[in-house]
Amino acid sequence: MEIHEQSPTAPFGTGRISFDVVRTQQQVNALLPGKSVNKWQLFRHICIARSQLGVSDRALTVLEALLTFHRETLLASSSSDLVVYPSNRKLIIRAHGIAPSTLRRQLASLIKAGLILRRDSPNGKRYARRDASGHIDRAFGFDLSPLIVRAAELADLSYSIAEDGQLVDRLRKQATLSRRDIGKMIETGIEENIDADWPAIRRQFGNLTARLPRIPSRESLEPVVRELTLLASHILEILQQHVHRGEAPEVDAADAPDLDSCVKSKPRMAPTRSQHQANVSARSFAMPVRLIIEACPDIVNYARGDIRTIGDLVAAARLARQLLAVSPSAWNEACTVMGEEGASLTLAVILQRGDSIKNAGGYLRTLTRRAAAGELSIWPLIMALRALNQKRKLYTQYRPAPFSR
């Protein structure tokens, strides 16, 4: 009787025949003669698709060991030696010294995955019965016929996984390029004083970056990369419109707005204190710290070193608060409404406009009340102060030397 015509063989001992085994045996019975596959090429396909098949790396080690007991490179459906019958001792040696209990579990997982079939002898031993000419008449062990049956399926599955892997790799690279482009374009837009809602753009960029998965997959990457691409196109369009209009006019010192110009009129509805604290903090530090220092360089004099992080800015503002005679109650109220980061930024702005503000504590209270009502916007003033400082720096650098006789 041909091997592929055998009916399911019950496992030795107390084990039962599962429907997975019945299904695999049915497929083996329908296998036509004359079909053959390269066992090592097929094994590589299984390695690629192991997560979809539900087999572990140790199960692959056991399967590789079983394949080594088949003498030929090709697994042929017409062959009579598709059942391999190594002892546990030999199988453990070829499986790199795997533990006996682990060996039993991995063999069971290979059977459950439909990659091999068990052909147990009456006493559970593995052996081959030969005829008078020495050819194998019947063998008891592990049948490799399911590998031939599923060869095309396993190949298609591995190719599909490989294509998905290449697509994920392309998506990851596209995400990296988009993040780099967006970051650079935002910096350019801010440095060139281009009129746009850069805090909102930076928040949107940060939200998209936070959605990038640690373990990338096609399903999780595609929507994020699509939105990053759209955001990059939107920012590029803003920059291109600025180029078409020509350079923006320089901001004169007389044109620099005071703090009152940053107050919005007639808010629709005053937000709650907790809501506005989150909003002010998010709006304030959607801008880079470097931009804040360029607009308010005087705050650096109150820092222990360079101000490179938000924490450095907060520490400098705490010291500046004392030297500006801002009362603890006014500072605590500002921190409650705007958050300590937002209050620190506001104090840096007040410090930079110190010549025109006589009572820093009173002015901070006024801005705090307006912030609580949702009427305060620091961003335009930061941009104006930065432009003014840049103009002063250029004037100092290029002013003509005094005439001397």
Average pLDDT of the chain, as a whole number:
80
Per-residue pLDDT at 209: 92
Per-residue pLDDT at 400: 53
- pLDDT beyond 60 at 102: yes
Q: Do residue 89 and residue 222 come from a single domain? A: no
CA distances from 213 to 183, 205, 217, 218, 219 (A): 19, 15, 8, 10, 10
| pLDDT tens-digit map of 50-86 | 988 999 999 999 999 999 999 889 988 877 788 898 9
Q: Do residue 260 and residue 394 come from a single domain? A: yes
Per-residue pLDDT at 1: 42
Q: What is the pTM assigned to this prediction?
A: 0.53
Q: Do residue 277 and residue 292 come from a single domain? A: yes
What percent of the chain clears pLDDT 70, i.e. is strictly above it?
Answer: 79
Structure tokens at 324: 């500006």
For residues 403 and 208, what is the distance between their CA atoms, to the nearest angstrom? 57
pLDDT band with cut points at 50, 70 and 90 for residue 100: very high
Q: Do residue 67 and residue 139 come from a single domain? A: yes
For residue 30, the one-letter residue type is A
Mean pLDDT of 247-275: 47
Residue 128 included in any domain: yes
Residue 405 included in any domain: no
Q: Do residue 181 and residue 211 come from a single domain? A: yes
Domain final residue, candidates 209, 224, 248: 248
Q: Alpha helix locations (H) across 262-301?
A: 273-284, 289-295
Residue 12 included in any domain: yes
CB 94 within 8 A of CB 65: yes
pLDDT band with cut points at 50, 70 and 90 for residue 228: very high
pLDDT band with cut points at 50, 70 and 90 for residue 13: low
Residue 355 included in any domain: yes
Q: Do residue 108 and residue 171 come from a single domain? A: no
The residue ranking higher by pLDDT, 127 or 274, is 127
Domain final residue, candidates 208, 231, 248: 248
Q: Do residue 295 and residue 244 come from a single domain? A: no
Q: Do residue 205 and residue 177 come from a single domain? A: yes
Q: Do residue 274 and residue 370 come from a single domain? A: yes
For residues 73 and 263, what is the distance between their CA atoms, to the nearest angstrom? 80
Q: Do residue 45 and residue 77 come from a single domain? A: yes
- pLDDT beyond 90 at 99: yes
Structural domain that includes position 371: 255-398
Residue 158 included in any domain: no
Dihedrals phi, psi of 10, to nearest 5 degrees: -65, 140
Residue 297 included in any domain: yes
Per-residue pLDDT at 271: 46
Q: Do residue 194 and residue 211 come from a single domain? A: yes
- Beta carbons within 10 angstroms of residue 201's beta carbon: 20
Count how many domains the chain has: 3
| pLDDT tens-digit map of 188-208 | 887 777 888 888 898 899 999
Residue 403 included in any domain: no
- pLDDT beyond 70 at 178: yes
Residue 187: closest CA among 230, 231, 224, 239: 239
Residue 26: closest CA among 44, 41, 10, 6: 6
Mean pLDDT of 375-381: 77
Residue 155 included in any domain: no
Q: Do residue 98 and residue 200 come from a single domain? A: no
The residue ranking higher by pLDDT, 22 or 234, is 234
Domain final residue, candidates 89, 114, 149: 149
CA distances from 57 to 162, 194, 387 (A): 18, 56, 61
- pLDDT beyond 50 at 278: no
pLDDT band with cut points at 50, 70 and 90 for residue 111: confident
Q: Which residues contact residue 119 at a Cβ distance below 8 angstroms, ignoring those fewer than 6 apart?
A: 6, 9, 83, 139, 140, 141, 142, 143
